[in-house]
Amino acid sequence: MATTFDYSGKVAFVTGAGSGIGRSTALAFARAGAEVAIADIDAERLEETASLIAATGSKVQVLPTDVSDAAQVERAVMATVETFGRLDVAFNNAATFDPHATVDAVELEAWNRVIAVNLSGVFHCLKYQAAVMLAQGGGAIVNAGSVASEIASLGLTAYTASKHAVVGLTKKAALDYATRGIRVNAVLPGAIDTPMAAEFSGGTDEGRAAMVALEPMGRLGNPEEIADVVLWLGSDAASFVTGHAVAVDGGWLAR
């Protein structure tokens, strides 16, 4: 991690922590001194992340969770507080995407699943995290948007709709808690070198090259570059930043 933050004595909660941006951010919190609760629907990958965090010397709690299920999210947040005593910062990162299709061709099952994970999942997290943070007197929440929060994304109908909505939800929550000690922001990654991006590009060299071609900086971003911004948004260095969507996209949205 290029930037140094001090999260000693803090508790972080990260969803989608089994791989990619979520794993890198959970590790960044741990390296910065935080105790970390990690959630993901993929229990095997989650255990891999937990091993990496444990190797840093930080405490970690493993929480297999489907964020589309409100009851599972509530249990995960409450378990975090039961284990660590508090919740200081959360990164709501879990997401999925739908097959390329025009609106008329989108399968309802695909639409419902993407909205359930990417939008309702963020709402579920916000709902229970905010309740804890209100009771303890404050905290910081970062939601994962995307460049698709600002522009239509390459035929991904449900993904585009869900990521636009995440920014709206972020702004609403930020205003709800602006005078109550909780800051809520979003990070908007561009094309980042993750397993999800590889899946999106078809796992081919040609697909990867096409993604690189979309980036003005001429490369894919690293998950650690997103983690840096998430840790900044969650820190006191961003104490007057709330309701903001920060693009970390290599210039994608500047075109």
Query: Which pLDDT belongs to residue 1?
Result: 41
The whole-chain average pLDDT of the chain stands at: 94
Helix (H) or strand (E) holding 240: none
d(Cα 64, Cα 41) in Å, to the nearest integer? Answer: 6
State whether residue 38 is helix, strand or coil: strand
Which of the residues 7, 128, 159, 177 is marked catalytic? 159
Q: Residues 99-148: pLDDT tens digits? A: 889 999 999 999 999 999 999 999 999 999 999 999 999 999 999 999 99
Instruction: pLDDT band for 207, please (50, 70, 90 cuts).
Output: confident
Q: What are the Cα distances from residue 18, in Å, to 15, 48, 202?
A: 8, 7, 20
Q: Where do the domains of the chain lie, and which CATH numbers do they carry? A: 11-190+226-246 (3.40.50.720)
**Structure confidence by residue, pLDDT tens digits, 58-101:** 999 999 999 999 999 999 999 999 999 999 999 999 999 988 89
159 is catalytic: yes
pLDDT score at 201: 65
| Predicted local distance difference test score (pLDDT) of residue 211 | 80
pTM, 2 dp: 0.94
- The H or E element that residue 112 is part of is helix 108-114
